[in-house]
Amino acid sequence: MYNLSERFFEFTPASGDSWQLRDRVLPDGDPRGVIAIVTRVAFGVDVIWGRGIRAPHHFGGLDDVLRTAVEVLSCGSGGPRRPVPIPHRRPARG
C-alpha cells in the first residue's frame, strides 16, 4: 500500500495476471476507486488508466505504475483559470 497524504493506493488481484490499482479512500464497491487496470505482458505490464488519466500505457513493473499514478494524481489542476493571452504580431507584408 502506498500513502499519498490522505490517500492510499493498493494493487488488488483481478485475475492471475492482472490487478486493479485502487484508491483505498473509497469503498470497495465504488467504481470510482479503480485508478487503473494492470495486466502482465511478456516484457513488463500494460495499463488501462481510468479517471481520464493521461499517462503511458506500458511499464517495466508495478512500482513504475504506482509511481506514475502518484505523480499524476498529486498534481491537481487547482481549479479553472483564465486563458493565457497569446501575443500576436502584425502580418508580414510582402
Measured distance CA(94)–CA(72) in Å, rounded: 47
- Contact between 73 and 35 under an 8 Å Cβ cutoff? The reply is yes
Summarize pLDDT for 16-40 with one digit per residue, the tens: 899 999 988 888 888 888 999 999 9
Handedness of CA 8, 9, 14, 16 (dihedral sign): negative
Q: 10-residue block means of pLDDT along the chain (94 residues)?
A: 63 91 86 91 93 86 89 69 75 71
For 66, the domain range is: 2-71
- Whether 64 is in a domain gets the answer yes
- Whether 31 is in a domain gets the answer yes
**pLDDT value at residue 89:** 74
**pLDDT value at residue 5:** 47
Number of domains in the chain: 1
